[in-house]
Structure 1
Amino acid sequence: MINNISFPNLGLDFSINRAAFSIGNVNIYWYGLIIALGMIIALAYGIREFKRCGLKQDDLLNMFLICVPVAIICARLYYVIFSFDQYRDNLLSIFDIRNGGIAVYGSLIGAGIVVLVY
């Protein structure tokens, strides 16, 4: 699927494929790559700041390893809760995240709770 992105005031128009690349039958989308890159940059920044403040970097890494899966689960849970009519007839489709349906708000809530508890 090709998406058109335009910035009319700048006179820029782009046509970008939604999938960055494929591994077998699995498409890797730009959206996922950008989020993953943001997480890596945040982790690198956090490690630098923990070091500067004299805190243990292992604590940040442990928290990160807990936050990522919890954030993914909470993102899906948030989406399913607010779109439950879509999943009511086929509950197994709740686990099919390859068809879309995660919410950034859910991931932020889940990761925030992990940080507060940790």
Structure 2
Amino acid sequence: MSSLSLGIFSIKISQLLLAICLLAALAIALVVSWRKKIKVTDTTMQIVLISVVAARMFFVAVWFEQYWKTPLSILDIRDGGFNVIAGIVAGCALVAWRGWQQPALRAPLTAGTLTFLLAWSIAVPAADSIAGEVALPAVTVKTFDGKLTTFKELAHGKPLVVNLWASWCPPCRREMPLLVDAQKRNKDLTFVFVNEDNDPDEALFFANQMKLATKSIVADYDFGLMQMFGARVLPTTLYYSKNGELLATHVGGLSEATLASDLQKMKK
């Protein structure tokens, strides 16, 4: 399971753990500041906000070529384009700077920062462990061209990108041209599209519009594969090594930049 859902809302396990780490850090900083009778709330919230902005801007800078094509997409943080390490470095730098400026804040800010770093060092392997449970299903599937096969056979010994989608899903429709283009440009990767439509004709019509090869589309009308992949919402994209090891998961719509970033991870 790579995400949790509550109704129409979904959050990745890694994002949830990051939020928990931040809350733990804020709680410790507030406890220490309360004991020392120091007000630290505004400072900690500023540090968190600036760290988030830094994480986003660093990611945008790395993939600026993709974002520049549609500048307004820089503001659309729904694509999940953040560099967590850059955000942590920025946060630590701000803590050091504010502690140097205001010595009274050193104790609560240091305590909060150390709490976050310790919690995050535990959360990262925990998130990887949970995500690693999503194995590539070893089941027989049927492609839109009527062939019975398996995901392993479809991969042809290459790293595999699995995209779960439906024609009625707006973010699926928005990201599909990006995936089709990536499929054409990355011959060293295999793309498989797991369709979750109730109406095969609607799905086939949209696939033909996108010029998506029917041999790369797998039908999942009973949502069995969706459950096996641990997906809770559409779209969900999973990235596997050529050995079937899960490398990354993206919940929600992809932007050109986040797709490029995820594909780069597969080629390392």
TM-score (norm 1): 0.69
- Counterpart position of 2:43: 63
- Counterpart position of 2:74: 94
Larger Cα-atom Rg:
2
Counterpart of 1:84 (choices 58, 64, 85) is 64
Deviation (angstroms), 1:51 = 4.6
User: Could you give the per-residue CA deviations for residues 34-86 of structure 1, whole angstroms, max 9, x where no partner exists?
Assistant: 1110011112222333455x351x22x12111112211111100101111122
Say yes or no: does 1:44 pair with 2:24.
no
- Counterpart position of 2:55: 75
Counterpart of 2:13 (choices 30, 46, 58) is 30
What letter matches 1:110 in structure 2? A
Distance in 2 (alpha carbons) for counterparts of 1:76 and 1:62: 21
Q: CA RMSD in A?
A: 2.1
* Residue aligned with 1:93, SS: helix
Say yes or no: does 1:19 pair with 2:19.
no
Deviation (angstroms), 1:33 = 1.1
Gaps of 5+ in 1: 1-15
Change beyond 3 A, Cα 1:44–1:100: same
What letter matches 1:65 in structure 2? M
Indicate the structure whose relative CO is greater, using CA pairs within 8 Å and at least 6 residues apart. Answer: 2
Structure number with the higher helix fraction is 1
Say yes or no: does 1:103 pair with 2:60.
no
- Counterpart position of 1:6: none
* Residue aligned with 1:21, SS: strand
* Residue aligned with 2:10, SS: strand
Matched positions, count: 98
Deviation (angstroms), 1:87 = 1.1
Distance in 1 (alpha carbons) for counterparts of 2:60 and 2:86: 10
Moved more, 84-93 or 106-115: 106-115
CA contact (8 A) 1:77 1:106 kept: no
CA contact (8 A) 1:74 1:106 kept: yes
